[in-house]
Structure 1
Amino acid sequence: MTSAAANAGHGWLSALLASASFARAYTVAVLGAVFASFAIERLAGQVTYIAIIAGLCIIGAGVLVVRRQEISFVRLVPTTLIMFVGWALISVFWSSDSAISFWSWVTTAALAFLAVVIGHVRDTLQTARALGDVLRVLLAASLAVEVLSGVLLDVPFRFLGVQGNLAQLGPVQGIFGTRNMLGFVAVLALITFLIEYRTQSVRPGLSIASVVLAGGLAALSDSPTVLVLAVGVGLAVGALAWVRHTRPEHRAALQLGLGAVVVIGIAVGYFARHPIIAWIGAGTDFSMRVNLWNVMVDLVRTKPVQGWGWFGAWSPGEQPFAFINFFLPDSSHATGLNAFFDVLLQLGWVGLILFVALAAIALVRSWLAASERRSVIYAWTPLILIALLIDSMFESFTLVGIGWLMLVLCAVRAGLSRSWRERIDARAGDEGLPHDGALRSEA
């Protein structure tokens, strides 16, 4: 191949990777692969899923290289994310199985990288639209599978974890493996679909049908966490609307007041947890979780600072997870059923502080941006983060797969919308990205 032909080939590839159409296709592919990870692994095997993620990472690296002139290196990755992922890598050296721990870290880092790429090639509206398109397809597929299994054939699809309970009005799992995961995804979908409706980015009929689909599957999942998520996100929507309609000179006082109310509400919720649990009918489920958390806390005392080493999702044959499941013989746990306790167990107090800092800084940044800026699209990031953090009190979804991807994506978007590093760019004379983050050239 001649030099001119090689340059022409590289030029064609660079143009493709830098195009807005490719950015949209790439975003849909990443979100689709991660949100459908359970179904992909059950249908095609774990190796297939790993190969898909590895391929997407390679393509994502190419996209960042081609767009390097448009991206500010200073604002590429949130500092708290680097510190958390770095501490997780260091913990590999004292885990019970360094090889398994390292590859678990690679998975965590790969999903974080994919989220960083999406955060820099799509703005908030484009990201929400891509997620909406993906979730419409996956939720529709979940409903179709449940109808086929529970109504037409009346046979459980065990290879997908579908029990076929649709005729009894649930609980249903869809293609997400468990009812809790389906309920979690349905709540994320509801937030996204309602933002689409408010921004008029899709047809009203499609928005309404999407909301009905997500709401129906959330109810049919019969997940005890869905009601808590719905109440928490609903209160956040009301508070954000109140702040947005308050005069700018009064917002600071209102924000402080709302912060105090949140702290008081958390305290009241803790002390009134037993009546609340009885009201939502999750007493047995919560009792099981409390027993699990008590054992985890006891184990944390043996390695309080550094933790037992990063695994993400539990590796059943490794310590301390084997001991936990042995000590609780009536159940076999794959996670700690609480992201904060899970981080504390695996990464110690250092890891927990970094994890809380990552989520809290992202939430504060995105909340302030949503309360000050005119477009309702800015509400998508803080509402997704609030859903993630509320769910983190009952599940460990935020540490792996779907939840981890969304947490990092929201942290990147929040950092681009409001960050101290913007001032560094300004002083250096680097124009970087537009204030909202990614490119404006919609496909």
Structure 2
Amino acid sequence: MKSSVRSDEPLLYRPAFVAAAEPPSGARARVRFAGFVLFTALGGDAWQSLLGWPAFIALVVGLTIACAVVLVRSHRLSPVRWTRCSKPLAAFLVLCTGSLLWSQYTGATALGVTAQWLAAIAGVTLAVTLTWLEILRALGVALRWLLGLSLLFEVYVGTIIRQPLHALWLFSGGQGVPPEYEWSSAELLNGGPIQGIVGNRNLLAFLALLALIVFAIEGVERTRGAVNSIFWLAVALLAHSLTRSATVLMATVGVAFVLLIALLIRRVPVHKRLVIYPFGILGLAGVAYATITLSDQLFPLLGRGDDLTGRVDIWNTVLNLAWQHPVFGWGWVSYWAPWVEPFKGLIVIDGTEYLQAHNAWVDLFLQLGFVGVFVFGCLIAATTVRCWWMAVDPTPSATVGGRPAPYQAIALLPLLLLAALVIQSLTESRLLVEGNFLLLVLLATKVKLDPLPLGPPPRAVVG
């Protein structure tokens, strides 16, 4: 996929170390590398199903080493003031690492901490070395491949194989494979639900939600051709609808409401905004209440139970366990390690052993106690505030041609991505691991280092 960078691209779109003139091939290389990193992180389940865990771990370690090399080289060209990076993020990583001292399963904690740092290094690298426009393009590249391959994969399974396909690396030992471990359930011709290359309807639906955000902003900024943008928006909508994911449908409604409030606030003078904010908060509460109230009718229509597919029972079980170590928790582990207590056989539903609490905040309480919930909450709060001001409050002194700098669609990107991540964290623990945590690190770091992409938007069209 081609990309280009205009020579007159505003400096605020560029990190300091690439502010000097560089060949377009350098920007293309950064976007392609970042796109592959994001593809691997967000589509990790696809690699695991295709290659198995050993090969996936080797791939992740290799990419992390490459990210570290890129980060060191960029720091040599233009040193980064690390004191300007997100302090709550640093505190959270230190807390995860420090939990080795009190962990009830030290070996599993060591693995979890290693995975956390690998994702953090990749996220920081992308934040430091990419411009906001390049982040948008890299996300677009990754999500196009993930959705495109997912639909092609489902077409192949539905029309050629015509029966459920199990992950290539999974051996059942003659006991049969639980339905949750089917790579594809071959339901495309029946109207879904489809699972895509990631092997899970909720994960694929969330990728489609991210794609809707990214593709829409690309279309408004005209960084891609109109036909191209419309086509990929249609692909994202198709994938979203075919997953029939109730939880991501809820997240989509929430993200749409956040977008609406941000666009309304942009039109309100600063001195009148304090009057508007309470209505926005009440509106969010209303959306949440309506979602819960309508769940009895909505979830069965989508093939789900009215208790978020057993999540309430999972939360109760995990919370009862968490209260045994409420201050600092049992110790960090990210994904539950099924070979150690207390995770061994902790949650088994219909023969499937679950490896997360299906709520990031419940998982935080279990693993890091009240302290972990507080530190991570500070990370989310600080990042949210910066994303919000970036979206609705351009710097008053910024001007273009003697006039105030216009609002840009790309300024909404961090806010909408973060909204999707946080809303999903109420029904999934993915915010704490792999691609979702990488995105959180990227956003938390970038909005602190380079908060406002102001100036005339680049209109470079990519093919």
Alignment TM class, shorter chain as reference: 0.7 to 0.9
CA–CA distance in structure 1, aligned partners of residues 354 and 58 of structure 2: 27
The aligned residue for residue 146 of structure 2 is 138
Shift of 1:222: 1.2
Aligned to 1:10: none
**TM superposition score normalised by structure 1:** 0.85
Counterpart of 1:168 in structure 2 is 190
Contact 2:295/2:306 (<8 A) preserved: no
Q: Are 1:41 and 2:48 an aligned pair?
A: yes
Alignment of 1:36-435 (within 5 A): 36-68=43-75, 69-75=77-83, 77-159=85-167, 161-263=183-285, 266=288, 268=289, 273-281=292-300, 282-286=304-308, 288-322=310-344, 324-325=346-347, 332-373=353-394, 374-418=407-451
Contact 2:64–2:118, Cα closer than 8 Å, also in 1: yes
> 2-side partners of 1:309 and 1:329: how far apart?
28
Give 1 or 2: higher helix fraction. Answer: 1
Q: Is the 8 A contact 1:96 1:318 kept in 2?
A: no
Task: Give the superposition deviation at 1:116.
Answer: 0.5
Higher relative contact order (CA 8 A, sep 6+): 2
Number of matched residues?
405
Unmatched 5+ stretches in structure 2: 1-21, 169-182, 395-406
The separation in 2 between residues aligned to 1:152 and 1:349, in whole angstroms, is: 51
Whole-angstrom CA distance in 1 between matches of 2:296 and 2:326: 30
After superposition, what is the alpha-carbon deviation per residue over 1:273-324, rounded to whole angstroms, capped at 9, x for unaligned? Answer: 3543433434345261111111111112110001111111111122222263
Q: Distance in 2 between matches of 1:37 and 1:76?
A: 30
Normalised by the size of structure 2, how large is the TM-score?
Answer: 0.81
Conserved? CA contact 2:328–2:371, under 8 Å: yes
RMSD (Å), alpha carbons: 2.5
Question: Is the contact between residue 204 and residue 240 of structure 2 (CA under 8 Å) also seen in structure 1?
Answer: yes
In 2 relative to 1, CA 52–329 (structure 1 residues): closer, same or farther, beyond 3 Å?
Answer: closer
1:59 CA displacement: 2.1
User: Aligned partners of 2:379, 2:56: CA distance in 1, in Å?
Assistant: 27
Q: Is the 8 A contact 1:199 1:376 kept in 2?
A: yes
1:178-223 residue CA offsets vs partner (Å, 9 max, x unmatched): 1111111111111111111111111111111111111111111111
Greater displacement, 256-265 / 190-199: 256-265
Task: Give me the whole-angstrom Cα distance separating, in 1, the residues matched to 2:215 and 2:448.
Answer: 24
Which range is displaced more, 152-161 or 118-127?
Answer: 152-161
Is the Cα contact below 8 Å between 1:156 and 1:164 reproduced in 2? yes
Distance 1:114 1:28 in 2: 12
Q: Deviations over 1:229-287 (max 9, x none)?
A: 11111111111110112223323432354235435655x45xx8354343343434526
Per-residue deviation at 1:92?
Answer: 2.2
- Residues 48, 56 of structure 2: 8 Å contact kept: yes
Deviation at 1:331, TM superposition (A): 5.1
Identity %: 30
Contact in 1 for aligned 2:246/2:298 (Cα 8 Å):
no
Distance 1:265 1:164 in 2: 34
Aligned counterparts of 2:79 and 2:262: Cα–Cα separation in 1: 30
Three-state SS of the structure 2 residue aligned to 1:67 is helix
- Give, as a single letter, the amino acid of the residue that structure 2 aligns with 1:347: L
Q: 1:87-143 CA deviation, whole Å, 9 max, x = no partner?
A: 111112332321221111111111111001100111222101111111111211110
**Residues in 2 aligned to 1:91 and 1:132: alpha-carbon distance in whole angstroms:** 36
Structure 1 spans left out of the alignment, 5+ residues: 1-14, 419-433
